[in-house]
Structure 1
Amino acid sequence: MQDYTADKDLANIKLLAVDMDLTLLADDGSQPEGMENRIAALAEAGVVFCPASGRPVPTLELPFPGSAGTMAFCGDNGGNVVYQGKIIYRDRLEPELWRKVAARAVAAGDNVPVLCCYDHAVCLERDRAHFEGIFKYYKNIRWVASYDDVDDDANKISLLFPAYDAEPAFASIYQPEFGEKLYVTNAGREWVDFMNLNVSKGDGVAHLCDHLGIDIADAAAVGDTYNDIPMLERVGHSFIVANAEPHMEAHARYRVPSNNDRGVAVLIDALLAAKQH
């Protein structure tokens, strides 16, 4: 696989979409130093910086308090897209679909269902013991005894697997059972996410490009795992971090240093340097 330096058209990039966990963020959850300055420099160079994540937009905005007003956010795996504080795209799951997923998940008993409702999440009282795992991504949580009477609009339902066995559950249960009606994706070892079939990080980035008048060939994406595949395959400049699993090499053209070696920052610096020539 080619190193990121083999991309000779970095100067053409107008949008940079990056995954968060294990991509922008190091294993300890920290960002590269100087990201606020880099984001400002990107904006000055005509490049929109866009975190793209399974996290909801309100949580996605928290790490960027000084920059959020200039940025885009592709939250809920593309189900909620915001640019400079304004919603430009928002999807909605039919209750009939998410209720079937929730019922299957509750019956399985080995996971924690999280109904994602744009600015809050709805979780079951039985799962309060997993508060820390949920709160990492969802800061506003409404607890209910069951999902029977929940009528909140939602764009995603996610299952947290505390035993880190999301991948086999995704492959053997949830993709086979729900894959024809929903886009089911594995977000690392902890999460399985369910969205409408026309919702993915790739679709979210495409909506953003349409809104901004940017050719998606001039968009770049950086990722590490399954739910990044749609955006990596959609954009003109695709990168994976060195810590991505080997199967991800089939879905991107270039490799950047690992998350712990601050690969996204390295790429941004190279992009900015290319813009100056």
Structure 2
Amino acid sequence: MKLIAIDLDGTLLSEDGKISEENQEAIHRRQANGDIVAFCSGRSLHDMQKIAEAANLEVPLICANGSLTSVNGEVIRSQILVADKLTEIMDTVASAGLYFEVYTNKGVYIQKDKKPILEEEKEALFDTPEEKENAGHIIRIQNMQYGMVEVDDYLEAGVTELDPYKVFILSFRRQELEKLAEGWEGREDISITTSGYQKLEVAHPDASKGNALGALAAYYEIPQKDTVSIGDNFNDISMLEYAGTAVAMHNAEPEVKEYADHVTRSNEENGVGHALNEIIK
């Protein structure tokens, strides 16, 4: 038996945000053979549940880069941001004038006055129709998340009491993201990662895909050597490092491929299905 952890965006999901039939069939085949397939993403629990349901797949879910793990609808592991830490992070991001969301046990909370920020950045920073369209696509993907909750004010909505487990920051102002990351560098009370050039994600210090994969392996009593991970971006590195077999997508960041034992096809070429059928024995 193997435990196979699969990233979603840029890995299992096509650019339309869906799981192809070929990838679905490959997952069902591995499950039928006795393997446990888990989704491991930076996305929220509610969003991942919807994605799995739409593809008719029942899988354990490692959410928000390892902040939360759910098996059969039950949360078995959670790494929560305490109230004072969360408010400090929110204040810092708000002072930088950037868009951010708070992931909680009741959904992904977004303060209404933050929503126009991304459109304003798109119009101010990009000149060509192609650049604007690419930026617009990123914004649309973000707004398509399932379980988003719009509120007038984060604190008045009580996010600190809703088991918050991640602050997600999205901006086309790359220098501002780098400033935030540099300001938090070296801290041991939070973890910082990214799943893309325009993204920064802040969570509990023990939250990582690698730690969560290790905990899930222990839950199922599966040896580390029998674990597999498939990913494409920087937030996948910890699980690629942990796994007995690490697979990177063809479209993965070059640095990420350095941590892989194998490279499969791209997410647009059903790379996960190819890995499950041809690479992972």
TM bucket (normalised to shorter chain) is: 0.7 to 0.9
1:114 matched residue in structure 2? 101
Equivalent of 2:271 in 263, 268, 271: 263
Q: Which amino acid aligns with 2:267?
A: N
Equivalent of 1:191 in 199, 207, 231: 199
CA offset at residue 184 of structure 1? 0.3
Equivalent of 2:4 in 16, 22, 26: 16
Deviates more, 1:220-229 or 1:86-95: 86-95
Question: For residues 205-233 of structure 1, what are the alpha-carbon distances to aligned partners after superposition, in whole Å with 9 as ceiling and x for unaligned?
Answer: 11111111111221100111110011011
CA offset at residue 101 of structure 1? 1.2
Give yes or no for contact 2:50–2:146 (8 Å, CA) kept in 1: no
Q: 2-side partners of 1:179 and 1:68: how far apart?
A: 39
Q: Which amino acid aligns with 2:167?
A: I
1:241 matched residue in structure 2? 249
2:219 matched residue in structure 1? 211
1:173 equivalenced with 2:180 (yes/no)? yes
Question: For residues 54-94 of structure 1, what are the alpha-carbon distances to aligned partners after superposition, in whole Å with 9 as ceiling and x for unaligned?
Answer: 1112211222226443x111111111111222221122111
1:33 equivalenced with 2:21 (yes/no)? yes
> What SS does structure 2 have at the residue aligned with 1:50?
strand
Give yes or no for contact 1:114–1:159 (8 Å, CA) kept in 2: yes
2:69 matched residue in structure 1? 81
> What SS does structure 2 have at the residue aligned with 1:34?
helix
> What SS does structure 1 have at the residue aligned with 2:12?
coil
Question: For residues 145-172 of structure 1, what are the alpha-carbon distances to aligned partners after superposition, in whole Å with 9 as ceiling and x for unaligned?
Answer: 35366332211111121x2x45x44443
2:133 matched residue in structure 1? none
Give yes or no for contact 2:10–2:267 (8 Å, CA) kept in 1: yes
Q: Which amino acid aligns with 1:107?
A: S
Q: Which amino acid aligns with 1:50?
A: A
- Percentage identity across aligned positions? 21
Q: 1-side partners of 2:141 and 2:15: how far apart?
A: 16
Q: 1-side partners of 2:178 and 2:14: how far apart?
A: 27
Two-structure CA RMSD over aligned residues (Å): 2.2
Deviates more, 1:212-221 or 1:13-22: 13-22
Question: For residues 121-143 of structure 1, what are the alpha-carbon distances to aligned partners after superposition, in whole Å with 9 as ceiling and x for unaligned?
Answer: 22212023368454323423141
1:159 matched residue in structure 2? 169
Q: 2-side partners of 1:249 and 1:72: how far apart?
A: 25
Question: For residues 219-266 of structure 1, what are the alpha-carbon distances to aligned partners after superposition, in whole Å with 9 as ceiling and x for unaligned?
Answer: 100111110011011111001111112111222221111111111010
Number of aligned positions between the proteins:
256
Question: For residues 183-220 of structure 1, what are the alpha-carbon distances to aligned partners after superposition, in whole Å with 9 as ceiling and x for unaligned?
Answer: 10011023211111111111111111111111122110
Q: 1-side partners of 2:154 and 2:45: how far apart?
A: 25
Q: 2-side partners of 1:105 and 1:115: how far apart?
A: 12
Q: Which amino acid aligns with 1:124?
A: Q
TM-score between both structures, scaled by the size of structure 2: 0.83
Equivalent of 1:182 in 174, 185, 190: 190
Q: 2-side partners of 1:132 and 1:244: how far apart?
A: 22
1:93 matched residue in structure 2? 81
Q: 2-side partners of 1:146 and 1:83: how far apart?
A: 29
> What SS does structure 2 have at the residue aligned with 1:63?
helix
Q: 1-side partners of 2:255 and 2:220: how far apart?
A: 32
Q: 2-side partners of 1:224 and 1:233: how far apart?
A: 13
**Runs of at least 5 residues in structure 1 that lack an aligned partner in the other structure:** 1-12
Give yes or no for contact 1:92–1:155 (8 Å, CA) kept in 2: yes
Q: 1-side partners of 2:233 and 2:71: how far apart?
A: 24
TM-score between both structures, scaled by the size of structure 1: 0.84
Give yes or no for contact 1:170–1:185 (8 Å, CA) kept in 2: no
Q: 1-side partners of 2:15 and 2:24: how far apart?
A: 20
Q: 1-side partners of 2:87 and 2:258: how far apart?
A: 34
Larger helix percent:
2
Q: Which amino acid aligns with 2:29?
A: A
Q: In structure 2, do the counterparts of structure 1 residues 119 and 47 end up closer, same or farther at CA, with 3 Å as the change threshold?
A: farther
Question: For residues 2-36 of structure 1, what are the alpha-carbon distances to aligned partners after superposition, in whole Å with 9 as ceiling and x for unaligned?
Answer: xxxxxxxxxxx611111111111223333222333
